[in-house]
Amino acid sequence: MKTEYRTFQFSLLSMAPIHIGSGDKYTSREFIYENGYFYFPDMGKFYNRMVEKGYDQKFERFLQERKPRASNNRLISFLLDNRISDRDFGGYRIKETGLETEENDNDSKLGAINEVVKFMRDPFGTPYIPGSSLKGAIRTILMNTNPDWNNKKVVDTRGKRPKENKNMISWGAKKGKEFNDLFNAIRVSDSKPFSNESLILVQKWDCSAKLLKVKPLPLYREAIAPLTKVEFTITTTTAEAATLIEKFEDKALEFYKGYKNFFLKDFPEDKIQDNIDYPIYLGAGSGAWTKTIFKQANGIIQDRHKKPVQTKMKGKGVLKLTKAPMKSVKTTQATRKLIMNNESFYEMGKANFMIREILQ
């Protein structure tokens, strides 16, 4: 039996916190901060237990009330007020990093965070990275580094505002024409699920290019801790697709070089992380220029943010950072730190990868 199918192993190593959202979030009334852990109980189980104990009406009242001090509106204060010592409500725990402080909040003790954006999970509650997320990131790099795709033709100027010309790369079935869908021939699997222990909570920090000031924003995300390994398989079904994946490591370097010259060079060097393998940006908070064909999008993205004065984008926008515990990695030469600064700043969404063909 002969087929053109070829399988590649895509090994991802997170260099910084990576967040892939599930489209949902925890409110401040859905987690318990205690003893150095954030505990996210199964709220269905939690409520059932409250009903059993006869606390259901009190709990409903707690959900509706808003006390002036933010810290009194958290689930932990409800448990303490009612002397409920149970903590076996299912769910999972995430260890605090100690970097989760809320400086804007007058209630600046640890754990006083508000909402947490959820990480993608399978139905058994284990986090994983969907193949669709990785595939989008791969596609962005391929489109940025191919002159046939990275040109004026990619901008669709019809309509009110310019947008991407989605028909530049042929896709889908067309009547009377041979099926030609390059990105159908690149098949990216979902990652293997990994444990909740690989997750930490990280805050969004913005670094402006002009003032070089770094400021925290009240946005928390569940993210993969730096130096977590995640495995994917990529299957290609045509020779053309296989060539793209074979060359992808070099393409990723080329993209990174371009991105660095275009955007990263405006920022202090100690906030930028060196690579170990081949660079890629994944998931939320990595910034618009890692998601777009930046050469063509430059100008158009800024235009989009013109109207509401508060969110107006200055220049090419801010560098998006986050704080996580410092970590070191052993390379062939020496042991070195993942980050160059002493303030625990990482580039949100940064990862490294290697591709190896699996021969069957």
Partner 1 sequence: MAFAKIQVTGQIRLETGLHIGTSNAFAAIGATDSPVIKDPITNLPIIPGSSIKGKMRTLLAKVYNTTLAEKPGDDGEIISRLFGNSSDKNYKVGRLIFRDAFLTNKDDLDSRDVKSYTEVKFENTIDRITAEANPRQIERAIRDSVFGFELIYEVTDKSQAQVEEDFKVIFDGLKLLELDYLGGSGSRGYGKVVFEDLKANTVFGNYDVSRLNELLTTEV
- Positions touching partner 1 (CB under 8 A) are 1-3, 5, 7, 21-24, 44, 90, 122-125, 130-132, 135-136, 140, 143, 154-156, 161-164, 183-190, 235, 237, 288, 291-293, 296-297, 300-301, 304
Shortest distance, position 176 Cβ to partner 1, whole Å: 11
Shortest distance, position 89 Cβ to partner 1, whole Å: 12
Taking the least distance from each CB to partner 1, the nearer of 162 and 325 is 162
Taking the least distance from each CB to partner 1, the nearer of 36 and 125 is 125
Give the contacts of 341 (CB within 8 A, at least 6 positions apart). 270, 271
Shortest distance, position 57 Cβ to partner 1, whole Å: 25
Shortest distance, position 36 Cβ to partner 1, whole Å: 26
Taking the least distance from each CB to partner 1, the nearer of 152 and 213 is 152
Taking the least distance from each CB to partner 1, the nearer of 5 and 229 is 5
Shortest distance, position 192 Cβ to partner 1, whole Å: 10
Taking the least distance from each CB to partner 1, the nearer of 25 and 87 is 25
Rounded distance between C-alpha atoms, residue 7 and residue 46, angstroms? 44
Shortest distance, position 278 Cβ to partner 1, whole Å: 21
Shortest distance, position 277 Cβ to partner 1, whole Å: 22
Taking the least distance from each CB to partner 1, the nearer of 75 and 142 is 142
Taking the least distance from each CB to partner 1, the nearer of 224 and 293 is 293
